[in-house]
Chain A
Amino acid sequence: MSDIHPGAPDHVPPLVRVGRFLKDNPVIPLIAFLFLLIGILELMRPGIISPFWAGNLIKFAIPLAMLAAAQVLTMLTGGIDLSVGIVATCAAFVTATLTPLMGPVPAMLIAMGVGALVGIVNGFGVGIARVHPLIMTLGTGLIATGCLQVYQRFVIATGSDIPAILEWLGTGRTAGLPNGIFLFVPFAVFVLWLMRFTGFGRLLFALGSNENAAKLSGVRSWQVHMALYVLSGLIASLTGLLYLGMIRAPSLSLAVPLMLPSVAAAVIGGTSIFGGRGSFAGAIVGALILRVIDTMLTLARMPEGARIALFGLIILLVTALYVRFTETR
């Protein structure tokens, strides 16, 4: 890293200077890119951009951005949480099936409990047993999938019901904006506050930048990991609840397709998968970008295969450009 070198700042090539600026403010180029994409979309299909369309875009980006928050937080410590998709699905399924039995509030509480439980197991594995987060969360994801399938056998007869509050959050609109925003804005503020202004947030950055240094400075890493993965599980459950309200049909793979895109949204948003660097604001924009790309590819009336392939290529291109720009060598 040349920034440490004294005397270097006098002859900084403009490109590097731009790179540094972008490194400090990763959200700015992302927002520019988002608007560029929206511009292209308007060119492709003039008149598509409307308040209604924007509301829809935001509505479907919210669950993705929420799951991306779980990824950003875990990636800060150099981890990843691949169980979020299935945890969200479990939460949704549990809520839908328990509501007719015990009412909406206890059902939702139990659903959050499921997320916390998976989080505790993940936290134990990663923080105490020192298992690689990728393996640990894949494993708990598998276990949770199995449990969900077994659970489904028992409740197959009870039928399902979706709490009214979730339906209101998921499908309603207030002044053109989806109601999900009432959940998402406080949530986003909380996550941003957590990352920026709390000791916990600083501990996450510290563990990700240099775990040994953090430990030598007296950080009890297992406690941080435990809290982190429980938080991640809770976020996933909350997302599942919201998503249930949006889709209104519980299934055994409801939120699973959101899992890989949530990683992509976090990475596009400038979060390093190796830890120590990341921003939730970036991930929100990343989620919006993914949704706009989705719309574009659907509008282009390409065959399904080309759409999926292009989606992958664009993720790769954006991250590659991002790495190119922000890495000063």
Chain B
Amino acid sequence: MSFVQRNAWTLGLIVLLVVLLGVTRLIQPNFGVSGLESLARASLPFAFATAAMAVVVIVGGIDLSVASMMAVCSVTAAVLMETMGGMPAILISLAVGALMGLINGTLVVITRVPDIVVTLAMLFVWQGTALLILETPGGTATPWMRGAITGSVLIPGLPSALVVVAVAVAAVWIPVKRSKLGLAIYATGSDEMAAFRSGVAVGPTRAAAYAIAGLFSGFGGLSLLALTGVGEPVPGPYLLAAVASVVLGGVILGGGVGGLLGPIVAVFILRIIRTILTLAAVDPNVTTIVEGTIMVGVVMFGAFLVLRSSRQAA
């Protein structure tokens, strides 16, 4: 298969994104650099939540606790930054995120309870933990952290928030994907039994995938903190949005298919649709309806494509 065929879905999404940016420009001729910047900034926590969800879905699971883990990381960083420098606080929060993910994954593997139930329970656990760390919104964010996601870098029109997402996700995911672990993750996701019989350590692989998801949630929590400047212990609406973007991004529930680029592009698509609807003076509540409809419609369309190609193959 050629490069284009293999990445047809992602390429299609990128084209869609460009078209939507053009539409935005048409509706609102003023939409320029600053519009792009605020779009990228608002998408930041969604992008990380989606990356986290995507890794877990690729390994064949699902993590309902992403938003709660983000809350924990955000309050951890906010509390730590009151007493110590920004960098150590960030590193500690990321480690906390990865640790939470690892706990999720380990519990999924050893209890043999379905992923969805374990992470449903852990959703409450992490939510409670976040409240224990910080009962009401508070703490503080290092000023340079807020600066890091505002404005543009290098050339105007390349939002630094976008660069932050790209660098963070690439720094974690590319080494993993190129390594044996990446192969094991995809193998486990596409057929756990076959992977096991080919000598893949299925349990540790799944736990590792959850840990990576936890790490991304850590980034998500930090970006939340950077956006608002305060630690917020109540999880935001990131779970549903992450699932929607993952599915729209071409990662199939059940595992083994897809990457991280598609879902992240999908995040921007969903955000920009929201922007367009806002610019077009559509009731913001209608936006929710549109988002739900898009999500369902896309999945139906995807299922239809799969059905058709399997008929052609047969």
User: Which A residues are closer than 8 A to B by beta carbons?
Assistant: 80, 125, 129-132, 134-136, 138-147, 149-150, 153, 260, 263-264, 267, 273-274, 303-313, 315-316, 319-320, 323-324, 327
Q: A138-B240, A146-B285 are in contact. Are A125 and B135 (CB under 8 A)?
A: no
Which residues of chain B are within 8 angstroms of A273 by Cβ–Cβ distance?
Answer: 114, 116-117
The residues in B between 269 and 314 inclusive whose CB is less than 8 angstroms from any CB of A are: 283, 285-293, 295-296, 299-300, 303-304, 307
A312 to chain B, nearest CB (A): 3
Contact A267 B117 (CB under 8 A): yes
Number of interface residues of B (CB under 8 A): 48
Contact A305 B122 (CB under 8 A): no
B266 interface contact, C-beta 8 A: no
Q: A303-B132, A304-B131, A323-B112 are in contact. Are A149 and B288 (CB under 8 A)?
A: yes
A145-B130 Cα distance, complex, nearest whole Å: 27
B16 to chain A, nearest CB (A): 19
Contact of A313 among B120, B125, B288, B307 (CB under 8 A): B125
B150 interface contact, C-beta 8 A: no
Which residues of chain B are within 8 angstroms of A140 by Cβ–Cβ distance?
Answer: 292, 296
Q: A129-B300, A309-B128, A320-B113 are in contact. Are A264 and B289 (CB under 8 A)?
A: no
Q: A142-B240, A143-B289, A309-B124 are in contact. Are A135 and B296 (CB under 8 A)?
A: yes
Contact B132 A323 (CB under 8 A): no
Which residues of chain B are within 8 angstroms of A310 by Cβ–Cβ distance?
Answer: 128
A141-B253 Cα distance, complex, nearest whole Å: 18
B121 interface contact, C-beta 8 A: yes
Q: A146-B289, A146-B292 are in contact. Are A312 and B124 (CB under 8 A)?
A: yes
A326-B290 Cα distance, complex, nearest whole Å: 44
Which residues of chain A are within 8 angstroms of B116 by Cβ–Cβ distance?
Answer: 80, 134, 273
A231-B4 Cα distance, complex, nearest whole Å: 44
Q: A136-B299, A316-B107, A320-B113 are in contact. Are A308 and B304 (CB under 8 A)?
A: no
Q: A312-B121, A312-B122 are in contact. Are A139 and B128 (CB under 8 A)?
A: no
Contact A150 B131 (CB under 8 A): no
A217-B81 Cα distance, complex, nearest whole Å: 63
Q: A139-B296, A143-B296, A153-B285 are in contact. Are A260 and B131 (CB under 8 A)?
A: no
A311-B27 Cα distance, complex, nearest whole Å: 49
Known: A135-B299, A138-B295, A324-B111. 6 other contacts (CB 8 A): A129-B300, A134-B62, A135-B247, A308-B131, A312-B122, A316-B111
Contact A134 B253 (CB under 8 A): yes
B172 to chain A, nearest CB (A): 26
A1 to chain B, nearest CB (A): 14
A311-B126 Cα distance, complex, nearest whole Å: 11
A135-B253 Cα distance, complex, nearest whole Å: 9
Which residues of chain B are within 8 angstroms of A153 by Cβ–Cβ distance?
Answer: 283, 285
The residues in B between 246 and 261 inclusive whose CB is less than 8 angstroms from any CB of A are: 247, 253-254
Which residues of chain A are within 8 angstroms of B132 by Cβ–Cβ distance?
Answer: 303, 305-306, 309
Q: A273-B114, A274-B114 are in contact. Are A146 and B286 (CB under 8 A)?
A: yes
Contact of A131 among B111, B120, B293, B299 (CB under 8 A): B299
B267 to chain A, nearest CB (A): 16
Interface pairs (23), CB distance under 8 Å: A136-B296, A140-B292, A142-B244, A146-B287, A303-B131, A303-B132, A303-B135, A305-B128, A305-B130, A305-B131, A305-B233, A306-B132, A307-B128, A308-B125, A309-B132, A311-B124, A312-B121, A312-B127, A312-B128, A319-B117, A320-B111, A323-B113, A327-B112
A210-B247 Cα distance, complex, nearest whole Å: 25
B89 to chain A, nearest CB (A): 21
A142-B247 Cα distance, complex, nearest whole Å: 15
A139-B117 Cα distance, complex, nearest whole Å: 20
B190 interface contact, C-beta 8 A: no
A323-B113 Cα distance, complex, nearest whole Å: 7
A140-B128 Cα distance, complex, nearest whole Å: 28
Contact A304 B285 (CB under 8 A): no
Contact B135 A305 (CB under 8 A): yes
Contact A130 B285 (CB under 8 A): no
